[in-house]
Amino acid sequence: MEILSVLVAAFAAFVFGAVYYMVLSKPWMEAAQIAIGDDGKPVNSSNPTPYIVSFICIILVAGMMRHTFALSGIDTVSKGVQSGLGIGLFFITPWIFINTGYSDRPWKLAVIDGGYATLAAAIIGGVLIAL
């Protein structure tokens, strides 16, 4: 059952990311300095590799969160969501800001990506405990 909860949590975070980045596609592509084709889509939009790699990475995050929650006795949905928010806001987002700063990219990119990381980790936390 644990692997199923990890996969469902990862899928939920991935779907949320699709919606999140569709809503913020223009400011994100601008901040990330993504090359845009004549159709207004990223030049590499037909390449499945980023989607596959990101889903695998989300599975890894969800798996480690499940393990950490089990060790920490996090056993309610509200604790799962709260812990996920904390992981996203205080572990993942600072690393995004570090990488953004050293790569000399716009801070707007870190805010958008950090927002996704925080909300997706909260979703993962809630789903892991709910299942």
Do you know the residue count of the chain? Answer: 131
100 vs 103: CA distance, rounded Å: 5
State both tokens at 52: 């596959």
54 by Cβ neighbours in 10 Å (0-12 / 13-18 / 19+) ranks as middle
CA atoms within 13 A on the CB side of 122: 15
Report pTM.
Answer: 0.92
- Which amino acid is residue 13, in one-letter code? A
pLDDT digits (tens, 9 = 90+) for 66-86: 999 999 999 999 999 999 999
pLDDT digits (tens, 9 = 90+) for 52-61: 999 999 999 9
- Residues facing residue 120 across a β-bridge: none
